[in-house]
Structure 1
């Protein structure tokens, strides 16, 4: 099939990310003798600089990784709700949802500590060796992406009138920077240089210096600045100026850690995902719901019948996400992935599009949906009178692919595999420039991940001090015969485990290219998504029956989907998904990579 680019192949190392500067920085680390984990850390910090509208140091990161010959692990870099982030505190302020912007929505930032933990335990380089690329771009500048300037333009008035510390960084001369202009963030560079200085002062081994950097972040000058600024009231989506609840004790009391992944076996593959504190297991549930006829006859990839089957399976998996996933209660994941439960749910996929939110009863348990979700399903608004109005609405939620298919950006992704067989998939996000005011001393804002938790007690995803808000961030690792073969993922909020699921099936069902997986062909294949379940982001809207498809899917497939009752929006030909992927053939050692052409900034490199 025609592809926009070739699937790269080589034997030394492969990188794919959502920005070419991050990809090439990671490759430079590999060329210098570093491993996949050193390279991933370097790329992640570059993404903080060059895609500030999509992620930042105040955000979070989950990653799936495997060391050469080792087991798959989850790097859990999602921070929890602060100790004072109680439902009573928020409802006492007159809120029925956590705001989509501002300090009240800030969880404990998790990205920096997670990347340093990975570097310490599985990398080979010092903090200075991996941070030098990001520091260079922050100090000397990088050509600004068009989409960064566009995003700044949408919040220009908010920055000028309310978040003036953000205006100082992102509105040089009072205006959004021009596309392609050399953009710097010297305050951010100074922050990292000071972290490195304190790391060196800690002395000792490489590992001890890395722990020194972590202390500077969690207990030192960074924590002091973050906690101090969080206490200052700032305008948020409620239409009021609210102070946050994040404290120095919250920052000092949390650290990133490793977890075992959730897995599912399908057709000779094993797919590994983060646990149900993320939405990752929806991917596994969609696998469990696939019909036996997949890939044959009427269910050939790309047909209307094929898309219908996958969309209806996604609706069931994401309905279970709303009823069962979260970090505030036990999640019956074994029952959700059990063959008997999947068979029971598979019968619900009929010939017509469903417009109901239908969570199941794993192990006989009765599903409980948030009252807000029940109201949304009935067509009621979840927002208060001030929400969504004017200046207060600027920067709300996680801007992703809109109902019209327009790509607006949201998150980042990166994948790396090296010549030794180390492999990682990571989805950094949060702390984007439109989430919170910039902390002046540090050059970056806090994140807004708490907006994903409910202000209703007794739910798996209730706002709970010390527990993680459920995240949409969902990197993937796939294995064959117990050996890691492919790392992949995409930005996209709720769409991540739709787009990546479609990519995986396209790669798994396609004929090999030059003896390997056709990564680029699977990335380039027409994609789609549904918004038929509640959004994870403020204001938590849902559109029953909705289906957005790329025009390249074809008129016959679109006609079939409409005949089945889907409310189809035909979007631009290249608008759905921002996939990245790398692969390794464990028998030959041949490495592969592909990257998304949509958005015109994702690139794969390697040799």
Structure 2
């Protein structure tokens, strides 16, 4: 079974499975296709995180594809540029790109196919073209002025005839196809008998290892390091140079890490550690684990209110405590702490920011997020992120978003991955490469007191947050969604509907969605909206009115607008596979047999 946010990626992944590849071959092929067909949502200059488990070892493992801050990305440097926050666009906000190395790591360590066969799908889409999405066309149209006036290399790639491509028109990216072909040729001289000198077990893995090294140290790294030295327009309206160097690109390598887990109603939910936002979902589930089943239906007034309030508490802890630092996740997920957080749930909507103090003394609760500072960050009530597609403001500010894929194969290998960053609108296209850099550093604070403060070599506290669910020690479900701060919120609704409510996968994805904005946004310019809940109108007039009576400031987002989840599921007892994908936007797709 394969599922993703774009039908072409799903079709390519399913093709790999049908031809004998495993889930990791398929996921890697689909991920590189997503670079091409959803360039407004992800790219090779971005990042990814994934959760996987193999048929041989069901222990959930994190694929850490979130690059760190470059050596030159210090708070002092940014302040010297006149900045009080990391910009939302421009190469100064770029973390070291990790997406490509992470996917090649998955293929090298867990896959079975040759790199040339895996990349053939993306090369074909880039060279011969694919029908451009209406959303891609609209995004290019929105930033066309920035392209023509400030980012000419982006205009040359995305507006070759001087205008955005029309929806359905074939869109090509021959430069990126050439980059992928170069990675394939990196291992051409490695034969089966010559593999040992490269430190690999066989010729296939040696060829992939050679491609990884070429990505980090070859022509791509040289082009990036040279290009970012030229100042260009950023979201603050000024021109800055980036700080990425060839040393940064060569030194940062993707890796596997242990997953953080929590037991919930007989299931085990696995997420990234607290360098990402994933454990916020675990904390929310832990808070709700002590709530009766009949109060956990998101489609009811009681359930929606309870879930929103639990999310506010979990996200407050995310914002104050999470980061690439020494996070006491064990204490945050301890039953006694979860019970104390549960006791804060009341019948009324909270408009307060209530993180947990951890430990003793003044360092127990970083003092940054005071009521006074929050009052300066209150957001626009219509800025709710829609279905997870990029939000574009009337001022011309363009945000990016994310894509997602899930795969399970006949043997029981399973993976959930959320690629993102390197959006076509995030920074200027690098000439000769066909892609741009990401802007993940905007999730870091220019405040030394925060665990997620900008520090060289530290990872941004990413919102990329795929999920694996296990039953009796066996992986059974992989799911995830685009959506930034909403990713874990929408996944919480899905998990409650499946694990507690017993809904079928597609029913749970299609059910009315909602989320809270009662926390500082993770992205520039970091607005927040105390007490605000965004809901799909299909939640119903009675439920919406009851939420408002409880004190929620409700923003209606339309009938089918929130969430872009996809998932796959496997019953270890019968071997039966299931999958589902988001119907909103008629773009996501699930397939299998």
User: TM-score under structure 1 normalisation?
Assistant: 0.91
Say if 1:370 and 1:150 are closer, same or farther in 2 by CA, change over 3 A: farther
Task: Determine if contact 2:481/2:487 at 8 Å carries over to the other structure.
Answer: yes
Q: Report the 3-state secondary structure (helix = DSSP H, G, I; strand = E; otherwise coil) of the residue aligned with 1:309.
A: helix
- Counterpart of 1:60? 47
Specify the alignment match of 2:306 in structure 1: 309
Please tell me whether residue 570 in structure 1 is matched to residue 530 in structure 2.
no
Give the equivalent residue in structure 2 for 1:38.
25
- The change in CA–CA distance for 1:113 and 1:408 in structure 2 (over 3 A counts) is closer
Task: Check conservation: 2:357, 2:365, Cα contact below 8 A.
Answer: no
C-alpha displacement at 1:75, in angstroms?
Answer: 0.3
Q: Which residue of 2 aligns with 1:444?
A: 435
Structure 1 stretches of 5 or more lacking a match? 1-13, 383-397, 513-517
For 2:146 and 2:173, the matched residues in 1 are separated by 20
Structure 2 matches for 1:204-219, cutoff 5 A? 204=195, 205-219=203-217
Q: Is the 8 A contact 1:147 1:408 kept in 2?
A: no
- Match in the other structure for 1:223: 221
1:460 Cα offset (Å): 0.7
Change in Cα spacing, 1:597 to 1:373, as seen in structure 2 (3 Å) is: farther
Distance 1:165 1:560, change over 3 A: same
Q: Check conservation: 1:415, 1:424, Cα contact below 8 A.
A: yes
1:360–1:135 CA distance, 2 compared to 1 (3 A)? same
Mapping of residues 178-327 of structure 1, within 5 Å: 178-203=166-191, 204=195, 205-290=203-288, 292-296=290-294, 300-327=297-324
Structure 1 residues 374 and 300: CA distance shift in structure 2, 3 A: closer
Aligned to 2:578, the other structure's residue is in SS state: strand
Distance 1:379-1:147 versus aligned 2 partners, 3 A rule: same
Q: Distance in 2 between matches of 1:511 and 1:353?
A: 28
Q: CA RMSD in A?
A: 1.9
Query: Secondary structure of 1:599's match?
Result: helix
Label 1:455 to 1:373 Cα distance change in 2 as closer, same or farther (>3 A): farther
- 1:3 alignment counterpart: none
What is the SS of the residue equivalent to 2:556? Answer: strand
Q: Which structure 2 segments of 5+ residues have no match?
A: 196-202, 380-387
Task: Call closer, same or farther: CA 1:326–1:489 in 2, change over 3 Å.
Answer: same
User: Deviations for 1:471-522, whole angstroms, at most 9, x for unmatched residues?
Assistant: 000000000101000000000000001000100111112336xxxxx11011
1:59-458 equivalent positions in 2, closer than 5 A: 59-70=46-57, 71-203=59-191, 204=195, 205-290=203-288, 292-296=290-294, 300-327=297-324, 329-364=325-360, 367-369=364-366, 371=368, 375-380=372-377, 400=390, 410-458=401-449
Q: Which runs of 4+ in 1 moved over 6 A?
A: 401-404
CA distance in 2, matches of 1:403, 1:355: 25
User: Residue 547 of structure 1 aligns to a residue in which SS?
Assistant: strand
Q: Match of 2:236, SS?
A: coil
For 2:391 and 2:567, the matched residues in 1 are separated by 20
Q: Deviations over 1:382-401 (max 9, x none)?
A: 9xxxxxxxxxxxxxxx9646
| Post-superposition offset of 1:335 | 0.3
Indicate the SS of the match to 2:341: helix
Quick one: structure 1 residues 292 and 487, their matched pair in 2 at CA, closer, same or farther if it must change by over 3 Å? same
- Normalising by structure 2, we get a TM-score of 0.93
Residue 223 (structure 1) shift:
0.6
Q: Per the alignment, in what secondary structure is the counterpart of residue 200 of structure 1? A: coil
The question of whether the paired residues in 1 share the 8 Å contact of 2:88 and 2:234 is answered with: yes
1:393-438, Cα deviation, whole Å (9 max, x unpaired): xxxxx9646899xx99721000000000000000000001000100
Q: Secondary structure at the match of 2:460?
A: coil
Q: Distance in 2 between matches of 1:511 and 1:285?
A: 22
Kept in 1, the 8 Å contact 2:378–2:528? The answer is no
* Shift in Å, 1:301: 4.3
Partner of 2:523: 537
Aligned length: 571
* Matched-pair contact (CA < 8 Å) for 2:378–2:530: no
Q: Does the CA-based 8 Å contact 2:400-2:421 persist in structure 1?
A: no
Which secondary structure state, in structure 2, belongs to the residue aligned with residue 172 of structure 1? coil
Q: Which residue of structure 2 aligns with residue 386 of structure 1? A: none
